[in-house]
A and B are shown apart, each in its own frame.
Chain A
């Protein structure tokens, strides 16, 4: 199992944002995390990636506990993510952002660089070529030189996915990757997510686009008020009366 959460809880003051969540994500699986606004989905992603520590419960990555580690260590163990509110480096180019994503994969060569030896230059060109290939994968190769802040919302989301993939993660956490995208764009991201899972990576996906989630995910965990109210295949979840009441019911009514 790539990622295993056991009774994970996190409270802010008296508010239980996540209240005893347990689930697992296997390699090659696309796992959907859905639930109404404020259900605790993003908090859960922050707990897994180490931006927050759980109040109780354990998070394991390939059998190893990661819930007390700082976020850079968790990233080094193979967990990569995107952010709901997009956190690209605004002044860096699209390419530069993806090259930063390669940080863990790159050699330092700082002393060679200070001595102006040729090895670091070659290494940097290689990193750029890798980053370029990743940008092509998300369809952003034409905009590589543009500063991230000058890209449109959808384009920024795609660059952020490329940046997360650059770390060659075992577990990829995506927080609303298709928000702000039109239907063909969202479908393209869906294809990409499937392809990423086929490479043997575990994908945990928060998504509000319900038809997309139903089509894309192998399994779904539904959160409401910080608690897991249902889990299973898309078909099972869609039949669950609690889910229909809490979440899908609203969608159908709308």
Chain B
């Protein structure tokens, strides 16, 4: 067991970071907003953390706080105009923001442009990453069923009716965008201090799609869904690698194809995500 843990230590670290990122997308999904700015927020957090560590003597806890705080603050002036948009328009506007951030770092010579920053000391330990995941899960768990949590659910289900109940929908949506941005920034700083490097290429559109898919496959209607999705989709390629090695089947393309098929199966048969599996099984039993 100990050997297994050591062998897959970096995998567990990535599950944790991906869980934070999936939760950052879940934050806005929980009030019905499809915001895809999170790769941009992650980049801001990663660069903030890396630059503070490389150029100042800031202590590691303060680096993490700053890396979460800056994107959370940036989310406010971004959110005020774009959260007026709904559905696909919000998604497009926030993709635009993510690209602007990425291109900013590509062209920022102080941060080495497209090459990015290297030789960042490794400070993100496995336990620290999972403490962050635990804290994020705690916040979402406590929100559930609270006055604020109910207001968020009401906004998700019918924004107009929610406003008519006196719920200030704008500030609720803004708060969740900011919370998600903070989580993404935190994950960015953790990743930078785990992999020794940051580069703009890591924060493209593909990255935010990855976060979104993990949140949705895990189940975007309950707080622990994103964790399940991140764990499942981060470990699946590794499991398939093992399988193809042991069965002697050709790895490579075959593995990726299988990865896609599993994803398709989950979306088709568990539209509410992995988190809905127990309820789904109970339902089937009841029907029989």
Contacts and interface: CB of A to CB of B under 8 A. Distances in A.
Contacts of A104: 165-166
A99 B162 CA distance: 12
Interface string A208-252: 000000000000000000000000000000000000000000000
Nearest to B138: A114
Nearest to A91: B157
Interface string B152-178: 011001101111111111000000000
Interface stretch (A6-14, A20-28, A71-79, A182-190): A71-79
A75 B157 contact: no
B146 A75 contact: no
B165 A75 contact: yes
A124 interface: yes
A100 B148 contact: no
A108 interface: yes
- Provide the main secondary structure of the chain B interface: helix
A36 interface: no
Contacts of A101: 165
B142 A100 contact: no
B146 A103 contact: no
Contacts of B153: 89, 91-92
Contact of B145 (A76, A88, A124): A124
A109 B139 CA distance: 14
Interface string B181-225: 000000000000000000000000000000000000000000000
Contacts of B147: 103, 106-110, 124, 127
A98 B26 CA distance: 26
Contacts of B131: none
Contacts of B138: 114
A134 B166 CA distance: 18
A90 B154 CA distance: 9
Contact of B142 (A88, A90, A113): A113
B157 to A, nearest CB: 4
B273 to A, nearest CB: 15
Contacts of B151: 100, 103
Kindly state the interface size class of chain B when it binds its partner.
Answer: 20 to 34
Contacts of B148: 108, 110
* Residue from A49, A81, A99, A110 whose CB has the most chain B CB atoms within 10 Å: A110
Contacts of B142: 113-114, 116
A75 B161 contact: no
B115 interface: no
B160 A103 contact: no
B154 A71 contact: no
A96 B150 contact: yes
A89 B139 contact: no
A89 B154 contact: yes
Contacts of A107: 147
B146 A124 contact: yes
A167 B157 contact: no
A167 B166 contact: yes
B164 A81 contact: yes
Contacts of A75: 163-166
B147 to A, nearest CB: 5
Contact of A100 (B160, B165, B168, B169): B165
A120 interface: yes
Nearest to B168: A72
A103 B138 CA distance: 23
Contacts of B169: 72
Contacts of A38: none
A65 interface: no
A89 B164 contact: no
Contacts of A72: 163-169
A103 B164 contact: no
A190 to B, nearest CB: 23
A196 to B, nearest CB: 17
Nearest to B150: A100
21 contacts: A71-B160, A80-B164, A87-B161, A89-B158, A90-B157, A91-B153, A92-B157, A99-B150, A100-B151, A103-B154, A103-B165, A103-B166, A108-B148, A109-B146, A109-B147, A113-B142, A113-B146, A116-B142, A124-B147, A127-B147, A163-B165
